[in-house]
Amino acid sequence: MCDDAASIGPSPAGPDVGIVADHNRPADTTKAQDASHIRKAALAHAVRLAITSASAQEVTQYPTAAFPINTSLSSQLQIELHQRSLQQFTPHTSHHRMAQIEVEDLYAELPRLPQDDTELVATLSSQELREWSSQQTRTEQSEYALSYRFLYNSTFPINRLPTELLANIVFLWTFSGSDLTKEPSYDWMAHMGVCRHWRGIALSTALLWTKISTKIARNQFRTFVTRAGTCMIDLYLHGTVSRPHSIGSNASSEIGTVMRKVVNSRSYAERIRSLDIVLGDYTHVATFMDYWFRISMMCTNITALQLLCRDTTSKPGVDISAFPHLRSLACSAQFQMLIPPHRSAPIPLTSLTVAPSTHGQVAASLLFLYYMSYLEFLYISFPRGDDTIQEADLFSSLRSASPRDDLPSLRLLDLRGSQYALIVDALSRVRELNASISITDSCSDGDDPSAPIMQVFPSLVQACRKALAVHPGPGTLSIEETCGATYCVISGEDEQRWSVKMQFSRKSREDGNASAIIPDIVREFRHLRFKTLHIRQNDESSWREHLDWLATFAALPFIENLKVTSDKAVDALWEALGQQDGTAELTAPILTSIQCQLKHQKRSASDLENTLSLMVECLAYRKQHGAGVQSLVFEGTVESLSQATKDSHEVVRERLASLVESPSFDVLEGQ
């Protein structure tokens, strides 16, 4: 292409090229310049349309990737960004019209035509010129295509951002909301198709290539390792290990080939930071153990290790002392942890996850706690049990406890499952913990085989108390009733950092009420003086009966702070706190602070009036008997509020001001 319009010659304008003529110029000059611009616009417009229509192909052809990618998302993003670029940088241009200044800028960037092409173009009409230019740009190595690709990519709005900001966008887009502890996702590969710049960032950013999973990148293992540069690698091997040279092995699930590549290259092995192995059925244990022995000898920089095996007949052993930098270990019961008998130095593990299913496996899994003085997190997952367990069996497990281990650094002991005897057994193996103990018994998708809460709760509370370093002082008790679950949290205050959290999920409702668990808590944690009580009630409870407030306060006589959040009426609360027959002792005599939040939005204002009346009478009664409440926060929600109701609430607010030192009273209209 030449810069001189005269060398192209006159040609009629096509119907899709808009020209704004200057009628003050001489006719011949105007005609020649318009003809020049027509050809420039036609060629530039044809080039733009050709490259835009081929955008999905361009991202896979330039630059060439080391592996194929899915361009369905890439094409969509490319077209979207292209449309935005047209809107932002060509405000006077429609799909069939280009502004003259844009044509001139685009024309200046395109290469000049050779002499032969110049003579050819001079004889073409506008339609023929478009077809010719479109053909030129569709040729992969065409000078026009390469030049326009550069112009097209460099003028995208996204590419005008600094490289550092682009890199941050790529990372946020790639890992937003993802759990880095789980198997990696490779959705970020589709983002490489946005433009050449983003593709270059992805290809040159080593951290994007450090997570390698055999589910996706089995055949590109070397490519990932190479592009990861010198970064440490997280390797996920999920599948089976077959016999060497076996004929019937499933190539799609075979992970032995990747393990072989690892152990055959010391440079690969030393760069592995995290190793996740999940062995499927029909794994040849002898072959796996051969690979594993070499891995334990060569992969000395591993800090996180997960070993799961679905084959219950396999019992491979794992010498965790072979990994001097290991900090996190998770293994199923099929793997046996081994430590040389002559070892005396502590193992630097900070996180341990095990899944025993028998008393023997509990003992084997926790046998090495003596060596784990740095352990901070201990997760134990038990299988679900049945409702045939007897309370005597639980206390028998507690009495036959083995010598206990000190874990001074432990911050969390997480126990999951409904094998209560095994949970008690695990708790009996630790002592003097200054940590949080979490026991979660959740329902499965099938029937609910779990034992009644009151059958297992006393022994669990006793086991938790014996495992903790509980000292005299104030304490907090929280109980939450929801539809299908009961939560209980016991914690020390001030300098005591321990806590106990229990969750019992049931599909059937429990007999009695939640107050029944409080006496067992008070008896076992008798060194605590419970000063704070939190009660949370949903509209549907997992218990057949309502909470017994009188029994609750009788078991907790030293409560100073009370917080109640409820979806149901709490009239019984104010009756228990205030209305006495004159002969019984005052309930909760040192109660000084009450927070009451009623969340049910469909409650009518008339239903709330009775609650407010009982609350005012309760506070007046307590003040009259020298046990006045110093702080009150009341929040309620009703379906609608009339002006008369608002006026009555003002009267309540004034009455509370005379009964409580620091009152806060709000009733809102539900949304």
Q: Convert the pLDDT of each residue in 242-264 to its tens digit.
A: 777 655 555 556 787 788 888 88
* pLDDT at residue 404, rounded to an integer: 66
The pLDDT tens digits for 391-444 are 444 444 444 445 566 788 999 999 998 888 889 988 998 889 999 999 998 765
| CA 264 – CA 411 distance, rounded (Å) | 40
Task: Assign 605 a pLDDT band (cuts: 50, 70, 90).
Answer: confident
Is pLDDT above 50 for 327? yes
Task: Assign 480 a pLDDT band (cuts: 50, 70, 90).
Answer: very high
Task: Assign 137 a pLDDT band (cuts: 50, 70, 90).
Answer: low
Residue tagged 């959040």 (tokens)? 565
* pLDDT at residue 187, rounded to an integer: 66
557 and 531 Cβ atoms separated by less than 8 Å? no
Buried (b) or exposed (e) across 338-373, using 16+ Cβ within 10 A? ebeeeeeeebbbbbbbbbbbeeebbeebbebbebbb
Higher-confidence residue: 320 or 218? 320
| 3-state secondary structure (DSSP) of residue 293 | helix
Task: Assign 339 a pLDDT band (cuts: 50, 70, 90).
Answer: confident
Share of the chain above pLDDT 90, in %: 27
Is pLDDT above 80 for 333? no
- Helix, strand, coil percentages in the chain from 3-state DSSP, rounded to 5: 40, 20, 40
The pLDDT tens digits for 46-90 are 444 444 443 333 333 333 333 333 333 333 433 443 443 334 333
Higher-confidence residue: 583 or 392? 583
* pLDDT at residue 41, rounded to an integer: 52
**Helix axes of 643-659 and 605-624: crossing angle, nearest 10 degrees:** 10
Higher-confidence residue: 373 or 174? 373
Mean pLDDT of 493-520: 90
Most confident stretch, 131-145, 289-303, 512-526, 600-614: 512-526
Is pLDDT above 90 for 9? no
Q: Report the Cα–Cα distance between both ends of the chain, in Å, rounded.
A: 68
193 and 199 Cβ atoms separated by less than 8 Å? yes
Q: Which of 29-33, 330-334, 362-366, 648-652 has the lowest mean pLDDT?
A: 29-33
Other Cβ atoms within 10 Å of 195 Cβ, number: 25
Is pLDDT above 50 for 558? yes
* pLDDT at residue 208, rounded to an integer: 80
Is pLDDT above 60 for 609? yes
Is pLDDT above 80 for 310? no
* pLDDT at residue 427, rounded to an integer: 92
Task: Assign 578 a pLDDT band (cuts: 50, 70, 90).
Answer: confident
558 and 529 Cβ atoms separated by less than 8 Å? yes
Report domain extents, the chain: 5-160
Mean pLDDT of the chain: 74
Q: Which residue, 529, 546, 405, 399, is CA-closest to 474?
A: 529
* pLDDT at residue 367, rounded to an integer: 76
* pLDDT at residue 373, rounded to an integer: 86
Q: Which residue, 277, 411, 423, 270, is CA-closest to 352?
A: 411
Task: Assign 640 a pLDDT band (cuts: 50, 70, 90).
Answer: confident
* pLDDT at residue 619, rounded to an integer: 94
Q: Which of 210-214, 456-460, 555-559, 613-617 has the lowest mean pLDDT?
A: 210-214
* pLDDT at residue 191, rounded to an integer: 66
422 and 362 Cβ atoms separated by less than 8 Å? yes
Dihedral sign, Cα of residue 419, residue 281, residue 290, residue 292 = negative
* pLDDT at residue 437, rounded to an integer: 96
Q: Strands 485-492, 473-482: parallel, antiparallel or unpaired by DSSP?
A: antiparallel
* pLDDT at residue 403, rounded to an integer: 56
* pLDDT at residue 629, rounded to an integer: 94
Instruction: Fill in the DSSP letter of residue 511.
Output: S
Q: Which residues make beta-bridge pairs with 212? A: 235
Is pLDDT above 80 for 95? no
* pLDDT at residue 241, rounded to an integer: 82
Mean pLDDT of 267-284: 85
Report CA 620 to chain centroid distance, whole Å: 49
